[in-house]
Amino acid sequence: MGPSWLPKTIDRFTSRLRVGKPVLYTSVLATLLAIAAAFSIPSLSMDKPAGERPSTDSAAAIQAPLHAKGGKIVDARGKEVVLTGVNWFGLETGTFAPHGLWSQNWQKMLDQMVGQGFNTLRLPYSNELFLPASKPTGVDYKQNPDLENLTGPQIMDKIVNGATNRGMMVMLDRHRPDQYGQSPLWYTDKVSEQTWIKDWTDLAVKYKNNPLVIGADLHNEPHAQATWGDGKQETDWRLAAERAGNAILKANPNWLIVVEGTENYQGPGGKGYWWGGNLQGAKDNPVRLSDPSKLVYSAHDYSPKVFGQNWFSDPNFPKNMPALWDSQWGHLVKSGTAPVILGEFGGRSVSEKDSEGVWQRALIDYLKQNKISYTYWAWNPNSGDTGGIVGEDWTTVNKDKMDLLKSYQGPLAPKAANNPA
């Protein structure tokens, strides 16, 4: 997922072989808001989830570390864990800080996420974040005084520890190599595979003693020339995921290694799908880690408002969708091969009267029926194709979206200790 001003997003709708996906739009207005934000912290009471949620008492509480068992994620006691979270982007962009800090206090934002019932935060970053020249912008320091003079990685530490101190699990997401856009492969001419892996192992060591930092989403949305299982070192995403995953596990054996799909699968019956959403190849060519119990796959899925895929015009829509999801990524869960996290999905409408809303409702039903984890895209309102959980004021919650998401939420984890925000 990448901002619309980035050059690499221009061709995604013009190439026949590429599949459209969401683009983020950070407007000039947002930039002005970052510069001239209101200088008072608005009062914000924590929103309470509607309906009942699973108990968070000591008997039901999640105990880290997590691992895979068949098609499920389980905790240290073997109890099934379902991640039901949200994405909060910005660290991967040129602000080098989560978006919205020009309008809202970061701790109040996390309080609101927890109040809405999300038990997991997927936190995107770029490798450029870790360079000394990458200075955070777009932060109102009157509302966020404890972030002043911090580097991007130090702000990242604040967000991670703040989330885990509230009982949220955190999954880090290498979303792009630099602020300028996503890359089809895990490396570019400016960010090498060696840098990609080193940044991951550094993070694995840094957060090793925080049990609620649960894993690494290795590379966001492999697509275009990315292959699966053909043995080509330059393009075989499966092999690259093994190299990075095993290096991370050597540094931190507790983490889950989250491996997204590709766009296309070149094997028998292979079809094109969303960027990062095609896991057909994992059936015959699974990722091989030094600890197989740490492997979790991930897919992304989007609505007809993002791109008019042919399955949305099927006369049987939405009844045709479960079979499609089965074939692309759900088969791994249903066969007991490995767990899957739906790392991104979202849309502006959840209405029963339009195709996007019908699609979102069908997808939530599918996830719930199969106990599949998810992280919703996105908390941010400045995701151009999908909108956000909160509105343009970064405070008002979209009740219709949350009513749908609250129909399928898991419990929070016990709050992490000794991790001051």
pLDDT at residue 61, as a whole number: 84
- Give the model's confidence band at 43: pLDDT under 50 very low, under 70 low, under 90 confident, else very high: very low
pLDDT at residue 415, as a whole number: 86
Domain positions in the chain: 2-36+69-405
Q: Which residues contact 2 (CB under 8 A, 6 or more apart)?
A: 8, 9, 23, 24, 92, 175, 176, 181, 182
Nearest Cα neighbor of 359 from 397, 389, 390, 317 is 317
Query: Which active-site residues does the annotation give?
Result: 221, 344
Q: Look at residue 394 and tell me whether its pLDDT is greater than 80.
A: yes
Mean pLDDT estimate for the chain: 88
- The 3-class secondary structure across 10-79, one letter per residue, is HHHHCCCCCCCCCEECCCHHHHHHHHCCCCCCCCCCCCCCCCCCCCCCCCCCCCCCCEEECCEEECCCCC
Q: C-alpha 91: how far from its chain's center? A: 13
Whole-model pTM: value is 0.88
Q: Look at residue 401 and tell me whether its pLDDT is greater than 90.
A: yes
293-347 pLDDT, tens digit each? 999 999 999 999 999 999 999 999 999 999 999 999 999 999 999 999 999 999 9
Pick the residue with more confidence: 176 or 5? 176
Pick the residue with more confidence: 8 or 415? 415
The fold adopted by the segment(s) 2-36+69-405 is TIM Barrel (3.20.20)
105-127 pLDDT, tens digit each? 999 999 999 999 999 999 999 99
Q: Which residues contact 373 (CB under 8 A, 6 or more apart)?
A: 73, 81, 82, 83, 84, 85, 120, 339, 340, 341, 342, 367, 410
Q: Look at residue 37 and tell me whether its pLDDT is greater than 90.
A: no
The Cα 149–Cα 302 span in angstroms is 38
Most confident of the ranges 12-26, 47-61, 130-144: 130-144
Average pLDDT over residues 185-192: 98
264-308 pLDDT, tens digit each? 998 888 989 999 999 999 999 999 999 999 999 999 999 999 999
